[in-house]
Amino acid sequence: MTNTTSIEQHPDLMELRARYDRAAETPVARALEGFTFLAGLYTAVSPWVVGFTNHSDVATNNLIVGLALAVLAIGFASAYGRTHNLAWVAPIIGVWTIIVPWVVLGSPVPVNMIVNNVITGGVAVLLGLAMAATGARTGRRTR
């Protein structure tokens, strides 16, 4: 019988996860997680708030990507040590939210849709970059 250890139990990996979990407990990280969750929820409901539900393709897109962003934020809040490597997804969601009116509708795009998606997408990009920076700063620290 051989005695092997799982990579999951490797001390370096466990220490790295512990560092990411400590970083997620800071007030700044908690605020970023909360704002990312709220940005996702707003993106999901924005077609009904702003009033562009008559463009069902964009409305459905906003609902799906908004819920994805909210779920991602929940993952950050509950297990940042295991989800920090997904922080790059939030800026991608934000960029997609910005460009989706033109990709889906072409031209012309209603002004209220442009303003809504550019602002919410920009917020998602900034929050995602801040979350990634939180993880990157923590990962570079030494003992």
Residue the block writes with tokens 């920076």: 133
- Taking CA atoms, 11 is separated from 5, 8, 25, in Å, by 11, 9, 21
On the question of pLDDT at 90 being above 70, the answer is: yes
pLDDT score for 39: 96
Helix intervals (H) in 1-143: 11-24, 27-46, 56-83, 89-105, 111-140
Distance separating alpha carbons of residues 21 and 60, to the nearest angstrom: 34
Range with the poorest average pLDDT among 4-8, 59-63, 139-143: 139-143
Q: What is the pTM of this model?
A: 0.78
pLDDT level of residue 143 (50, 70, 90 thresholds): very low
Q: What is the pLDDT of residues 28-82, one digit of tens each?
A: 878 888 999 999 999 999 999 998 888 899 999 999 999 999 999 998 888 766 6
Q: What is the pLDDT of residues 101-138, one digit of tens each?
A: 999 998 888 999 999 999 999 999 999 999 888 766 65
Distance separating alpha carbons of residues 96 and 62, to the nearest angstrom: 10
pLDDT score for 142: 43
Domain boundaries, the chain: 11-140
Distance separating alpha carbons of residues 21 and 74, to the nearest angstrom: 14
On the question of pLDDT at 97 being above 90, the answer is: yes
Distance separating alpha carbons of residues 123 and 136, to the nearest angstrom: 20
Comparing 36 with 14, the larger pLDDT belongs to 36
